[in-house]
Amino acid sequence: MRLMTKHTQLWSIILIAYVAMTYGVLAVGDYPKNIVDSAGREIEIELPIERIIVQNGGAARAVMSLGAADKVIGVADFITKDPERYPLLKDKQVVGTWKSFDYELIGKIATNEDSNSIVPDIIVLCYYYTGMSLSFDSFVEGFAPFENITLIALDFTNPDNITDSMRKLGTILDKEDKANEFISWRKEKTSQIESAVEGLPEPTVYIESSASRALGELTVFGPCSGFGTLVKMVGGDNIATHLNESFSKVTWEWVVSQNPDVMLIWKSADTVGWDPMSSNDVAGLDDHINEVLGRPGSSSITAIKDGNAYLCNSMILSGMESILGLAWIAKILHPEADIDPMEIWEEYMRITGFGYPDDRIFVYPEMDE
């Protein structure tokens, strides 16, 4: 799916006719379709998409919600390892990881098995967000030799870009109506949450990643990160805002000196207690929160003295589920606000068709009703 020139137009017409006969595609009048992906690249889709390779977890969830999981022919390995979150993709062919692809394997499955032909009907959906452009550049280089595959960057990480990415995915997959349904619902819920906290005091917030290795080198989420964006949307004052990065390194001594009102800690959904989501074994969560509470000088921090230090499940902090993350963060920062995160979660499951066990945990310690 390369940009067409005048010299290839005739060949493209022949290909469209061939695909129409091969796949039974009758409506090709809307093609080619053009979008600008999250990396700012102009993409032209010449033919209806019949095969999808997904490396982006957020895009994988979006593909399922749009009813296109049957078109997926390859996924990153973490997707098959999480059947609860990706139930319709759990048995798909693994073609790489979140940061690398098996190009040799992809080459084998990229050829139409019936006709041994190369038909340009395959897309690869990849991560793209601030700070990972170098990784994406390597993907562009890796897929350059494949004439029938188009690499598309969609940012489902930063909440500011989810609507745009969902709309573009709907266009690419001919699922505009379904995509717009989710976009409209998400806009409505976002407006409700923001209205519920409007005018309330703005607490200072420290946002830490569980990937941090030592107290002298803690990884924090800055204003350009997805997590940081969610906090800002509901009236949180990120103490790392002045660092002006998505991720930065700080010392615990600096955190103590800043004395935040609230502490939010990103915790991977793979953690014991959150994988599977229905697990009641929260020992791993207890260990982590107790480590934070026991750090030198922690007793002087307002967030810890007031019991406002929480672990946040990573699954609600990016992608389509970030609307739930927004609700939970708003409730943590503003307990008095009229917000019911679990009610929003129930609505989310209805509109997407996803389902989870009833005893799921999204923030820990669990907040009092």
**DSSP conformational letter for 364:** E
Question: What is the β-pairing status of strands 218-221 and 247-250?
Answer: antiparallel
Flag whether 195 is in a domain: no
- Measured CA to CA, the distance from residue 344 to residue 349 in angstroms comes to 9
- Measured CA to CA, the distance from residue 310 to residue 98 in angstroms comes to 27
| Domain end (from 185, 217, 239) | 185
- Total domain count, the chain: 2
pTM: 0.85
Domain span at residue 224? 201-364
pLDDT digits (tens, 9 = 90+) for 307-353: 999 999 998 998 999 999 999 999 999 999 999 999 999 999 999 98
Flag whether 56 is in a domain: yes
* CATH number assigned to the domain comprising residue 82: 3.40.50.1980
Question: Three-state SS for 78?
Answer: helix
Supply the pLDDT for residue 103: 95
Flag whether 220 is in a domain: yes
Flag whether 41 is in a domain: yes
**DSSP conformational letter for 187:** H
Same domain membership, residue 359 and residue 211: yes
Flag whether 190 is in a domain: no
Same domain membership, residue 312 and residue 212: yes
Same domain membership, residue 154 and residue 70: yes
Q: How confident is the model at residue 247 (pLDDT cuts 50, 70, 90)?
A: confident
Burial class (CB in 10 A: 0-12, 13-18, 19+), 163: middle
Same domain membership, residue 316 and residue 210: yes
Flag whether 330 is in a domain: yes
Same domain membership, residue 156 and residue 11: yes
Q: Alpha-carbon Rg of the chain, whole angstroms? A: 22
Average pLDDT in the chain: 86
| Domain end (from 131, 154, 185) | 185
- Residue 13, pLDDT > 60, answer no
Flag whether 60 is in a domain: yes
222, 244 Cβ separation under 8 angstroms: yes
Same domain membership, residue 215 and residue 181: no
